[in-house]
Amino acid sequence: MTVSDPPHAFSGPDTAVDEDLLEKLIIEAQSALPFELPALANRCASALGLDTALVYLVDLQQRLLVPLDEALRPLPVDRSPAGWAYRTVSPRVVNGDDGVTVWTPLVDGAERLGVLGVRAVSPDRVRLGRCRMLSHLFAMLVTSKRTYSDWLAGRTRTMSMGLPAEMLRAFLPPHTVGSRRCVSTAVLEPAYDIAGDAFDHSVVKNVLHTMILDSMGHDLAAGLSTSVAMAAARNARRGGGDLADVVGAVDQALARWLPDHFCTGVVCRLDAETGVLRWVNCGHPPPLLIRAERVLAGALDSPPQPPIGLAGLLAPAVRQVHETVLEPGDCVLLYTDGVVEARDADGAEFGLDRFTDFIIRSNAAGQHPAEVLRLLIHAVLDYQRDQLRDDVTIQLFEWCPPAVGPRAAVPGGAP
């Protein structure tokens, strides 16, 4: 059952909390090492009048929920109550032989991290609220500690990673970022062997910045080109540069430091208050605009421009910046050509129509944007039997002003 079920199943004795102990545990959490989090979760649960607590993080490909307790086994995202909580970003209450388990999503901002499973004999509404409180605490702890913990990174991997992918992933932002007005989410494959593709997104006050890149080649040099491009873009963005400045900074950085390499890409800037979208397309497949469950053909097409990083006579003097105004609920889809060029056993391409139809149907079914892309990237992998011929990166962002309300991966909406 879910937490929306009638409350008659929930009853419990005194629900007093040892606040002194809880405060002590929260202070201790600040200096706890990542591998100590499972034991800390149990102690925090006990202080809240709950039983045991289990922390699971999603793996890189979002197929498994991996326990931080190394004695436990992973759970499937697609076929488990814990996975249901992760997919829907909603709590799930499950009755079992050993009592009741409350599965609560672990979410940092708009980023789905995993789930927290709390066991209790008879959870009432007060204890359910404490389960959510505990999940918020551990989402913040995991987020703060994974920035420096190789152990946490290793727990979410199911195979060894290539060096280009290791380098590139060090530059990648969270898969999902958002605010009350917009959400951006992205996925990329092959997860352990990515080299030239990448995405970036950031929210600066009420402005969403997004970028997708596809570097020449599929080796360490391609990953280095993409990494330099992302660093240059962030440097210009954090220095207050506008869209043209950001693209110009990437052009100059690649031309100076890696003159024999270039990449295609799309760089966007969305004003989340007004819906004004500005973008620059540098030799990349054009973005797609999805409105009212259909693709507006050619809405975001623009005259061709050279790839990023060309030097000398090939370098453009000025990049053209294009502008349009989105309507509430509009989605913009960025992708690399590996998506539509994926082929099945008979050589048939996955294709743009199949790609966009999947997005539209999933959106219409009420899926969160992050879940839409999780399902889509798995569909692309299954179509090509997990043997991708090229990197695949997909980025989707949605303008959802308060009158419409976001579908970001956050219980009750984005922060």
pLDDT of residue 408: 47
pLDDT of residue 145: 94
Residue 196 structure tokens: 């030239």
Q: What is the pTM of this model?
A: 0.89
pLDDT of residue 407: 55
pLDDT of residue 405: 55
Strands (E), 121-196: 176-178, 182-189
pLDDT of residue 208: 97
Ordered mean pLDDT values, 10 residues apiece, the chain (415 residues)? 41 57 82 93 88 96 97 96 97 85 94 94 82 93 92 95 92 93 95 91 95 89 93 96 93 90 95 97 96 93 92 77 96 91 83 90 88 94 82 94 61 39
Count the neighbouring beta carbons within 10 Å of the beta carbon of residue 80.
Answer: 20
β-bridge mates for residue 393, sequence order? 188
pLDDT of residue 166: 93
Are 44 and 134 spatial neighbours (Cβ–Cβ below 8 Å)?
yes
Are 103 and 92 spatial neighbours (Cβ–Cβ below 8 Å)?
yes
pLDDT of residue 216: 83
Q: Give CA–CA dist 276/270, Å, rounded.
A: 6
State the Cα angle at 236 between 235 and 237, rounded to 5°. 95
pLDDT of residue 290: 95
Count the neighbouring beta carbons within 10 Å of the beta carbon of residue 11.
Answer: 10
Are 309 and 250 spatial neighbours (Cβ–Cβ below 8 Å)?
yes
DSSP annotation of 97: T
Sorted by where each starts, the structural domains of the chain and their CATH numbers stand as 19-154 (3.30.450.40), 161-399 (3.60.40.10)
pLDDT of residue 79: 92
pLDDT of residue 27: 87
Q: Give CA–CA dist 322/303, Å, rounded.
A: 10
Q: Give CA–CA dist 217/219, Å, rounded.
A: 6
pLDDT of residue 410: 43
pLDDT of residue 339: 85
